[in-house]
Structure 1
């Protein structure tokens, strides 16, 4: 259809020597485009009428038919083309893929190793559908837990990021009767799990279900243009009909329909949205549809996940306590602090544990030119740490239990400090050389740079409440929230708990935006009025969200809010321009100042004005220093 319109314009206005009757050929092209464009528009109008809704598609259909009747083929083709272009632009940005749910389903384990008892070792591989509540399942290192259940034998570190969003693996054991969730990974150790929930009844299964339900509920949202058309369309049709009856001038009645067709309104709204989307992309903000701008501009409450959103989501060395070691106190004169760090990194690089990775990363930043020493007799003590002989030194790295096992004594002051760090949610690691503690490290998640500045900016812009939700313990949540400008902070929440929390706030007629980054945030992202994903999050989260902050840059959040307000204002400006133009055309038509030709000139000029106004938005610099509403 676009090819027909472009061809018609070229034939009509460009001098083509070998073409004699250019006007006739151009009219044929316009006629074909008008007929082709009328078909899908008319079908939508009929569907709306069946639902007892007078849509703008009905007005456009009548206008196109009227233009064809009076021989204004160019107007029929251009009106149909503009309307369809506007719909294509909006639908392409509003349509969200449902492959996110399929990705979640693909993550679910399809088979499991079933054993007859907690002490049995001969496992049978069976389909997950064959597992029943009460069955015993063997889970080995590197395997995914296939069901919800309770550990009845063994212990190990479990990565539950898909459920709780927390990146640090948790130590769980049969001794503590710890619960495990489907979708989590056993990073080390071996456990036997007694099944309590299978398939759709697991926490992971309920995540998928909540996302599906919330996605379906969002498809019923009506476009602003549809709401407007409920009043505008019947008014124009009635005016046109009344004019035809009172004046017996069919051409005048049809002219009213043609000039009354809101061309500037049809193209003005999508072009504002596209300009806003383009500006967002330049700022590192991906917006998936026009509705997201309107929703974000009306947000009252911003709810944010902790790990990966307000924090970096990666365990890192947060605190260090070093002991000065005089050379005379050790049989090895070269034993200084930097040397201790090098030995520690040499051991930790042999491990894949997240805490070990944090130590190696810290040492490499501290000493970029570090060279590692190959350790000997390397040994991993599950749940405690590592030990080895490195450069003729006995090196022990781990928690207090590991130090006790090696008869290494921790000073009372170190014990007090370690307890304080643990209370603050940090994992405490000791580095001991030749039986003497040298360094104490606190490892945990760290707050994103500029996170607090972004929160304060949102508050200045008018966000009434800022709330943090997390699957981490309340103790850790309290420690993090004490450093951020938040109104509330809640911990110990499973994915469905976050979604339920948001539903509770929505019950008070407040607009909620949720910001998250992990699969576990899926239900909350889908349930919230607006879902915002950090760009370094999972592909699933990015797909089911409405807005994506590229590179997980938290400073883009207040910019996105300012962008939403600017885009909505620009949209309303274009609506105003379109309505004023229509009013001028109708008044001019009845007073005799405007006819079909001059009316169409004003009509096309109004389209140009709204496009220029939208381009003004795409080139503006966003000022996030908004006043409180």
Structure 2
């Protein structure tokens, strides 16, 4: 019973439509029994109830916005039919129109699902430690920066913050779409909406409730819904003019057709005018674009792509080239140990232990890369007698009677470069030609080993570039990195063009050049230095793990930090353009067909309404197909 009550409260238009249908059925019963004194009032009440929402919309648009909409045409057609004694047709017209409007409303509500699901992810209540350390329940909206809260097993994190326990295991599927849980450690960022899959943990609130990642996502999607595409705006702009034209054309039609069709009297002409008023209404044309764009925005939001409006969906369709920043976009954005070579392979384990012990004393990004590598390989941490961190050069380590150096070539080997064999030297040159950084290790100034570091290319980068090429889109890389490294990465990814050694302002100037050459271009970046380029590009893509400045400047935000979403974005925008074009052609064709059929007296008023409203529903359902869009490879 509660479900029925909830459905009635949430679907008032459909409730009125059902009541209207019941009244028409009773009216038909009394009509068949030749009891018109009862049938006609039933038809009139069915007319008023079924058309209530349409009359309200028409009145609001007319009095508040001073414009005419398609509801006026339907109401006038029904009133006109009733005036000449077609009470049943008038009531039936309003019922069918009301049914179509109700189904459209219910169908369009499907585009709100992704937003509604987002808003339900974060809980309204949080468990807060008060001044004396007791846990109390408070509204999430009342949390302040610095508050300490607890998240129990199975609960959703209520707000963004910082982990205060040693470890936590979180399901981040709501943010990243990835099914595997993520392990966080003390001090790392915890995002609101993720699910605690392990024991309860404590965290410190890092933002106000309105500044959480989910709040930003919801705001972006809501803003996108209210920012229509150019096509939608143009169609909406002509609706008022079109309705006025129909309102002028119909009286002329009624007055002039008896002069051209000798078999028509003015009663027939008036009836055919009411049919024309109905079938010429641009309902399907008006619905050609907006549902498709909203469906595309909602589907993309569910996928982790935030379009900042229907106009952005439009522009994404027209892209001819995609420009990538390198560091943090095509690459991981941090150095990693990718190769290791040992002068004496038998010494590998011992040398790794020495290097691990030295690097563990530093927080430098290069040291972090060594530590991550050795932790993964479970290398033992060897105790050392002395470790000196020599800024700009490396480490000098005393282990027993031996002096080890770890760092650049000049520091580690000084005047003993000849201890590197010819084939070892060739190997080093090969790595350096690939843009990798070489870290040398010497023992008593004798070459012992080297490691190479590189900013690793993301796993999805190559597939993304290949997919863009399949879509006939040029790819360009702009980077502040040095030429040799940039060229090697560009070649390995099969990127069409590369420009290196660039400052942020250089990127902006080059984008202007590329726009002149290719037309519409997109920029993909993640940092503050990318913000000018993201703003200048026709479409700016910001990675969700990037800076707030980049996310605010960009037109599209990729929440999942997954480059595969760029081809998906372009694909869904192209599908949207195709569907909108299909809808426009179909709706105009149906209007033309019904007008011609009316001239030949091949349709009556109810059939005209069914044809007109049926085309509107088909157009909307065609747009809703985008809610299930998936990129075909």
Shorter-chain TM-score category? 0.5 to 0.7
Alpha-carbon displacement from aligned partner over 1:489-510 (angstroms, at most 9, x marks no partner): 1122222322222222323571
Partner of 1:329: none
Structure 2 SS opposite 1:483: helix
**Cα distance in 2 for residues equivalent to 1:43 and 1:397:** 80
Q: Do residues 462 (structure 1) and 469 (structure 2) align?
A: no
Partner of 2:412: 403
**Cα distance in 2 for residues equivalent to 1:390 and 1:574:** 77
The 8 Å contact of residues 20 and 49 in structure 2, kept in 1 or not, is answered as no
**Cα distance in 1 for residues equivalent to 2:242 and 2:337:** 67
Q: Do residues 596 (structure 1) and 605 (structure 2) align?
A: yes
**Cα distance in 1 for residues equivalent to 2:332 and 2:315:** 27
Q: Do residues 339 (structure 1) and 346 (structure 2) align?
A: no
Deviation, 1:403, is 2.4
**Cα distance in 2 for residues equivalent to 1:228 and 1:591:** 29
Instruction: Give the alignment of 1:326-405 within 5 angstroms.
Output: 336-365=347-376, 367=377, 369-375=378-384, 377-389=386-398, 394-403=403-412
Structure 1 SS opposite 2:572: helix
Q: Do residues 491 (structure 1) and 492 (structure 2) align?
A: no
> 1:227 pairs with 226, 234, 243, which one?
234
Partner of 2:128: none
Deviation, 1:589, is 3.1
Aligned residues: 475
Partner of 1:247: 254
Alpha-carbon displacement from aligned partner over 1:390-445 (angstroms, at most 9, x marks no partner): 68865432223542689998637567765665564433322334554322122121
Instruction: Give the alignment of 1:156-167 within 5 angstroms.
Output: none
**Cα distance in 2 for residues equivalent to 1:59 and 1:293:** 26
Structure 1 SS opposite 2:477: strand
Deviation, 1:389, is 4.7
**Cα distance in 2 for residues equivalent to 1:424 and 1:596:** 75
Name structure 1 gaps, 5 residues minimum.
47-56, 95-218, 327-335, 625-629
Cα distance change of structure 1 residues 435 and 26 upon mapping to structure 2, 3 Å threshold: farther
> 1:545 pairs with 554, 557, 563, which one?
554
Partner of 2:320: 300
Cα distance change of structure 1 residues 314 and 509 upon mapping to structure 2, 3 Å threshold: closer
The 8 Å contact of residues 312 and 446 in structure 1, kept in 2 or not, is answered as yes
> Structure 1-normalised TM-score?
0.63
Cα distance change of structure 1 residues 30 and 401 upon mapping to structure 2, 3 Å threshold: farther
Deviation, 1:299, is 1.6
Deviation, 1:337, is 0.3
Structure 2 SS opposite 1:551: coil
> 2:57 pairs with 37, 43, 52, which one?
37
Alpha-carbon displacement from aligned partner over 1:229-286 (angstroms, at most 9, x marks no partner): 6667645533441330342477765654443333333334333334444554566544
Cα distance change of structure 1 residues 568 and 224 upon mapping to structure 2, 3 Å threshold: same
Structure 1 SS opposite 2:361: coil
Q: Do residues 527 (structure 1) and 536 (structure 2) align?
A: yes
**Cα distance in 2 for residues equivalent to 1:578 and 1:375:** 80
**Cα distance in 2 for residues equivalent to 1:467 and 1:393:** 50
**Cα distance in 2 for residues equivalent to 1:603 and 1:283:** 34
Structure 2 SS opposite 1:446: strand
**Cα distance in 2 for residues equivalent to 1:564 and 1:419:** 46
Q: Do residues 430 (structure 1) and 440 (structure 2) align?
A: yes
The 8 Å contact of residues 373 and 390 in structure 1, kept in 2 or not, is answered as no
Deviation, 1:358, is 1.3
**Cα distance in 1 for residues equivalent to 2:540 and 2:107:** 25
